Each structure stands twice: as C-alpha cells, then as structure tokens.
C-alpha cells in the first residue's frame, strides 16, 4: 500500500508538471550560491570556472530574490554550487526563510566544510533534504574527487548530521553516488558501508559527460552552453561495453538482494540506455526543466537551463517579479528550440531522467512491474487463461 501511494503521488506530480510545462509556469528553483568549489572532481569542471566572488549576492540580495520566488509561488529551492557551504553567510538564512514560508529546501554537499556546528545549523534552520555525495570508499574516493581525505569527511559529515537530527524526521538523508569507469565497482561497498547509518535512500547515478561536438553545435543566438559535466582532466570517464555489462550485473545483484540495508532508488540507472554508458547519449528528450525549473546564477541572473549560464532572460534582483521574466519571448524561444529537438546538447543531458515526462514515468513503472513479475516463483503466478 505504501508503494502504491508513492507511485500514485509521483504520477500526480508528473501530471501537474506537464500542465505547468505547457503553461510555461515554474514550480521549483535551482539556486547557485557560488561557482567556487572545494572539490577537484574528475567528472566535473565547475571548479575551473572563472568565478567572480564579488558578483555573488549577499544575504540581502538573496532575500529579495527569495521574496520574488515566494510571491510567484515557487514550491521548492535546491541550494547548489560549487560548494554552497563556502556561503555560510547566506545558506542558513536562506533555508530559514524558505522554511518560514512553506518552501521545501534541498541541499547537495561534498561534505568538505560540513563540521558539527554546520550540521546543527542546517537542521535548526529547517532543511528538508540533504544529499551527501559519496562516490567510493577509502582512498578510491580521493581519486574521483581530486582531493585527499574525502571519504573520511563524508563519513564524519553524515555522523554529524545524524547526531544533529536526532529523533526528528527531517532533514531526509540521501546518498548520491555518481558512477563512472573509475568507481562503478565500488557501489556494492558503498551500500555495505551505509547499512550502519540511518539514511533514507541511496541514489546511484550514471556519470554525465557532454561531448565537445554537441557543445559546439548548441549555440543559441550567439550564446554557447557551458555545462559543468565535462571531464576536467581531458579524458573520458564513460564506460566501455564490457564495463557496462559488468555494472548491469552489479545492479541486478543489488536488486535481487534480501532487502537489508538502505533503500536504493535505481531510477537514474534504469532510465539510461547502453548508449548513455558508452557515449553519453540519451537521445533528445522533451525537457520539462526549461519550462518549470528556474535556474538562478550567483548574481541573480535567471536562465532556463543550468548548462546555459550565459543565456540570461532576466535578473531577479532588478526585475519586478518572476512573472516578468519566466515565459518572456527570449525564454519561449529557447523552449521552442528544445521542443523541436534543435539543441544537440540535450542528447547528452541527464536532467530529464529526474524530471521525466508523464509518458516516460509510466513506461518506467510498467517496466518495473514487468521485471518484478518475471522473477516471481512460478507457483506464485496466476495460471494463464490462454492455451497454445
């Protein structure tokens, strides 16, 4: 019954997002507090951006932005970076403002700056969900993240958050593991490690790696995309066909486990075709992000896509409201090009996996149902009414 309610809730949310997308009406916001980062990840280059610290909004600026999001009716804010904990002067106030005004907050972290005081501050401010990035165990994590001691810092950060949360239900603790050819064999070790922690879910995710060919072919009105999901060391971290096969075996073992340990959400893997593993290609899917998710740069600029930071449709610090920006002619032109499948960058984008269309969501659940039925013991199956 609990599973049925969860599926029903997701389908209703999907249906509502489709309606909002058709109307070009935003539901959620993705807020970049900073592009500066304390990690040096091999699969992400955001830390290589020429981040202008002076252009980052202070709390009063962000408060004005949040007031406009509240007045528009935004229901959730994901606080993003870079490393958003470089902005401790802002983040706790931001979470508290959202909590006071009924806006859900989500916060992904690499844990490097997550000490006990920070964990307590996040909980007390009213954070709804925290995503801890954990890509490997022990020193293998350092190779992926590019800095030393990352695993111990994540472990300590989880413990601080668990202690600060106590018996409270929130914030929910989600573990996100980005799997590439460097670390896919670590997934079972990650799950084993997490059995001792009260995490709410684990999200294994396939590495995203935009190709230079698609980036160069996706200039819109003279504006080139600048996606951060690009190898930072000049070589690919996608899978070989053999690695893809082995990883699928790992996933199947985890799916057929005895149910002990944390809940694992396999959606990010199940949505991915083999081509996504080996070439980073999903095919161009209809995007609900550019019409329902407001992306806000560190200076308050608004864009329809987190991978087009220079495609600016307005600034929430100076505009009268989000209504003046969202759905403008510059914005709708971007959406129309995406819906006509003219933006090649979209073929390598993972975002539609987490913001799927209703049709894709239904197909996903039907496949899950089929997979579950196929592994049932024969004696538990209803006899067929068909004869050969």
CATH number at residue 147: 3.20.20.70
Residue 381 resides in a domain? no
pLDDT digits (tens, 9 = 90+) for 105-139: 999 999 999 999 999 999 999 999 999 999 999 88
Residue 388 resides in a domain? no
Reading the block at residue 142, the tokens are: 């350092």
**Which pLDDT value is given to residue 152?**
96
Is pLDDT of 92 > 90?
yes
Cα–Cα distance between 322 and 67 in angstroms, integer?
Answer: 10
Is pLDDT of 241 > 80?
yes
Which of 62-66, 210-214, 256-260, 351-355 comes out lowest in average pLDDT?
256-260
pLDDT level of residue 308 (50, 70, 90 thresholds):
very high
Residue 134 resides in a domain? yes
**Which pLDDT value is given to residue 379?**
43
**Which pLDDT value is given to residue 378?**
47
Q: Which domain holds residue 325?
A: 1-370
**Which pLDDT value is given to residue 67?**
98
Residue 237 resides in a domain? yes
Residue 299 resides in a domain? yes
Is pLDDT of 205 > 90?
yes
**Which pLDDT value is given to residue 259?**
65
Contact 317, 348 (CB under 8 A): no
**Residue-averaged pLDDT of the chain:** 93
- Omega cis (within 30) before 82: yes
Residue 112 resides in a domain? yes
Is pLDDT of 386 > 60?
no
Total number of domains in the chain: 1
**Which pLDDT value is given to residue 129?**
98
**Top mean-pLDDT range of 38-52, 318-332, 351-365:** 318-332
Is pLDDT of 206 > 90?
yes
β-pairing, 172-179 vs 76-80, is: unpaired
- What is the 3-state secondary structure of the chain? CHHHHHHHHHHHHHHHHHHHHHHCCCCEEEEECCCCCCCCCCCCCHHHCCCCHHHCCCHHHHHHHHHHHHHHCCCEEEEECCCHHHHHHHHHHHHHHHHHCCCEEEEEECCCCCCHHHHHHHHHHCCCEEEEECCCCCCHHHHHHCCCCHHHHHHHHHHHHHHHHCCCCCCEEEEEEEECCCCHHHHHHHHHHHCCCCCCEEEEEECCCCCHHHHHCCCECCECCCCCCCCCCCCCCCCCHHHHHHHHHHHHHHHCCCCCCCCECCHHHHCCCHHHHHCCCCCCCCCCHHHHEEEECCCCEEECCCCCCCCCCEECCCCCCHHHCCCCHHHHHHHHHHHCCCCHHHHHCCHHHHCCCHHHHHHHHHHHHHHHHHCCCHHHCCCCCCCC
Contact 65, 97 (CB under 8 A): no
**Which pLDDT value is given to residue 382?**
42
Contact 317, 64 (CB under 8 A): yes
**Which pLDDT value is given to residue 298?**
98
Which of 14-23, 111-120, 210-219, 376-385 comes out lowest in average pLDDT?
376-385
**Which pLDDT value is given to residue 2?**
60
Q: What is the mean pLDDT of residues 206-235?
A: 96
Residue 386 resides in a domain? no
Is pLDDT of 385 > 50?
no
**Which pLDDT value is given to residue 51?**
79
**Top mean-pLDDT range of 7-11, 61-65, 359-363:** 61-65
Residue 304 resides in a domain? yes
pLDDT digits (tens, 9 = 90+) for 21-43: 999 999 999 999 999 999 999 99
Reading the block at residue 53, the tokens are: 């610290």
CB atoms within 10 A of CB 300: 21
Is pLDDT of 212 > 80?
yes
Residue % of the chain over a pLDDT of 90: 84
Reading the block at residue 311, the tokens are: 């495609």
Q: What is the mean pLDDT of residues 133-159?
A: 95
pLDDT digits (tens, 9 = 90+) for 249-305: 999 999 987 567 899 999 999 999 999 999 999 999 999 999 999 999 999 999 999
Is pLDDT of 175 > 90?
yes
């Amino acid at each position: 019954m609990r599973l049925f309610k969860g599926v029903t809730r997701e389908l209703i949310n999907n249906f509502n997002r489709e309606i909002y997308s058709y109307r070009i009406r935003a539901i959620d916001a993705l807020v970049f507090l900073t592009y500066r980062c304390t990690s040096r990840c091999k699969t992400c280059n955001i830390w290589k951006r020429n981040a202008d610290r002076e252009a980052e909004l202070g709390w009063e600026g962000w408060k004005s932005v949040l007031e406009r999001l509240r007045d528009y009716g935004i229901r959730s804010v994901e606080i993003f970076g870079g490393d958003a904990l470089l902005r401790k002067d802002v983040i706790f106030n931001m979470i508290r403002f959202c909590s006071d005004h009924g806006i859900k907050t989500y916060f992904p972290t690499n844990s490097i700056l997550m000490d006990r005081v920070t964990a307590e501050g996040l909980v007390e401010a009213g954070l709804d969900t925290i995503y801890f990035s954990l890509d490997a165990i022990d020193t293998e994590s350092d190779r992926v993240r590019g800095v030393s001691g990352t695993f111990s810092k994540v472990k300590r950060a989880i413990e601080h958050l668990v202690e600060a949360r106590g018996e409270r239900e929130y914030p929910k603790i989600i573990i996100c593991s980005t799997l590439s050819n460097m670390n896919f064999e670590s997934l079972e070790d990650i799950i084993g490690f997490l059995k001792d922690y009260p995490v709410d879910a684990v999200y294994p995710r396939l590495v995203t790696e935009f190709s230079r060919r698609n980036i160069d072919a996706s200039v819109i009105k003279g504006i080139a995309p600048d996606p951060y999901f690009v190898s930072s060391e000049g070589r690919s971290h996608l899978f070989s066909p053999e690695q893809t096969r082995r990883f699928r075996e790992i996933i199947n073992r985890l799916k057929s486990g005895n149910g002990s340990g944390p809940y694992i959400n396999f959606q990010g893997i199940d949505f991915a075709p083999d081509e996504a593993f080996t070439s980073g290609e999903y095919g161009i899917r209809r995007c609900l992000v550019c019409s329902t998710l407001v992306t806000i740069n560190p200076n308050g600029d608004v864009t329809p896509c987190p991978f087009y930071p220079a495609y600016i449709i307005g600034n929430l610090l100076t505009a009268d409201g989000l209504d003046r920006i969202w759905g403008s002619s510059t914005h709708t032109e971007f959406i129309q090009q995406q819906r006509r499948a003219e933006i090649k960058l979209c073929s390598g984008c993972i975002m539609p996996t987490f913001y799927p269309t209703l049709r894709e969501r239904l197909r996903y659940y039907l496949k899950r149902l089929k997979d579950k039925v196929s592994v049932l013991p024969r004696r538990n199956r209803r006899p067929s009414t068909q004869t050969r």
